A and B are shown apart, each in its own frame.
Chain A
Amino acid sequence: ILNVEQSPQSLHVQEGDSTNFTCSFPSSNFYALHWYRWETAKSPEALFVMTLNGDEKKKGRISATLNTKEGYSYLYIKGSQPEDSATYLCASPQGAQKLVFGQGTRLTINP
């Protein structure tokens, strides 16, 4: 059974501050690591799909790193804005067919 764990479960950050949170996953039989952003009352939207150990991806103020050997990924948000408030999900495929999600980190940006 593949367990994808995220920490912390929730996070409150002051506007303008930078923050990061963690996704851990079993490192054996690794295929890929997905990050999604899920705003309230909307659908999850993909941020990154990462496959290579040491890879770093960036989209605006959001970036992610990947360590497949030790089984973790970090998501960073630089200079948080209120619109960054959302739940951030990571997920890893079990085999090539089933994407298993973590519980998510609920981020709230305080103005």
Chain B
Amino acid sequence: NAGVMQNPRHLVRRRGQEARLRCSPMKGHSHVYWYRQLPEEGLKFMVYLQKENIIDESGMPKERFSAEFPKEGPSILRIQQVVRGDSAAYFCASSPQTGLESGELFFGEGSRLTVL
């Protein structure tokens, strides 16, 4: 399967623990986007990354959240000291080098974080 792969699919954490969500983009895609879906809400943009660069992190909460997309390996969304309000589905999407005016995003199936 050459699609966008996210893991884990489900993650349970207690308040104060760390959550790490991984995303492997489609082969040949160098652009990665993270979105969050809170209960009963739509997809909210968090961050856009290219290899080794954060391009737009305007949707990331100022504290506890960070993202990276290293030269080798998957993109990682890291949430430190999780709180119950972080419980959500986190979706990763990738795109090839073409821009959003001509190319669509390819989504993974999401990682569902539950904070107890």
**A residues neighboring B (CB under 8 Å):** 31-32, 34, 36, 41-46, 49, 51, 89, 93, 96-104
Tally the A-B contacts, defined by beta carbons under 8 Å. 66
**B25 beta carbon closer than 8 Å to chain A:** no
Chain A residues whose C-beta falls within 8 Å of the C-beta of B105 in the assembled complex: 34, 44, 46, 99
Report how far A51 CA is from B16 CA in the complex, Å.
45
Question: Chain B interface secondary structure, helix, strand, loop or mixed?
Answer: loop
CB-contact partner of B102 in A36, A41, A51, A100, under 8 A = A51
**B residues neighboring A (CB under 8 Å):** 3-4, 33, 35, 41-45, 48, 55-56, 58-59, 91, 99-110
Chain A residues whose C-beta falls within 8 Å of the C-beta of B42 in the assembled complex: 89, 101-104
Beyond A98-B48, A104-B42, whether A46 also contacts B104 by CB under 8 A is yes
